[in-house]
C-alpha cells in the first residue's frame, strides 16, 4: 500500500453522500463540533476524504457516530453497509 495516510477517507465522503438530505462537509463539521467537541476546518475534512491527512482513532470514532455507518465499513474491513449495524 503506497503512502496510505488513512483507509476511511473515501468512505467518509461516500457516507456523507448517502445521507438524505445529503450531508455536506459543513454539516459534518458542525455535528462533530457540537456532539463531540472535535474541530475541523473544511480543508481538513477535504484532506481526510482524499487520504492526504491522517485521522486519529478518536476522530474516526466521532465521525462513525455522526455518520451512523458501521465502523468496520469505514475501515474497509467489510463492504456491507447495513443500517442495522449503525451506532445506537
Q: Give the count of beta carbons closer than 10 Å to the beta carbon of residue 77.
A: 11
Q: Give the count of beta carbons closer than 10 Å to the beta carbon of residue 68.
A: 14
Does a structural domain hold residue 83?
A: no
Q: Could you tell me the sign of the dihedral formed by the alpha carbons of 38, 43, 47, 52, in that order? A: negative
**CATH number for position 27:** 1.10.260
Domain housing 68: 9-78
pLDDT tens, position by position, 11-65: 999 999 998 889 999 999 999 999 999 999 999 999 999 999 999 999 999 999 9
Which residue is it, cell 481538513?
44
- Are residues 11 and 73 in contact, defined by beta-carbon separation less than 8 angstroms? yes
pLDDT tens, position by position, 50-78: 999 999 999 999 999 999 999 899 988 88
**Which 3 state secondary structure label does DSSP give 48?**
helix
- Are residues 77 and 26 in contact, defined by beta-carbon separation less than 8 angstroms? no
Does a structural domain hold residue 4?
A: no
Does a structural domain hold residue 50?
A: yes
pLDDT of residue 88: 33
pLDDT of residue 84: 43
Number of structural domains, the chain? 1
Amino acid at each position: 500500500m503506497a503512502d496510505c495516510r488513512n483507509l476511511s477517507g473515501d468512505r467518509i465522503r461516500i457516507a456523507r453522500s448517502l445521507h438524505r438530505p445529503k450531508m455536506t462537509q459543513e454539516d459534518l463539521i458542525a455535528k462533530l463540533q457540537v456532539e463531540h467537541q472535535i474541530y475541523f476546518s473544511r480543508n481538513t475534512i477535504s484532506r481526510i476524504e482524499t487520504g492526504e491527512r491522517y485521522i486519529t482513532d478518536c476522530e474516526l470514532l466521532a465521525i462513525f457516530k455522526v455518520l451512523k455507518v458501521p465502523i468496520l465499513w469505514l475501515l474497509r474491513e467489510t463492504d456491507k453497509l447495513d443500517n442495522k449495524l449503525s451506532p445506537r
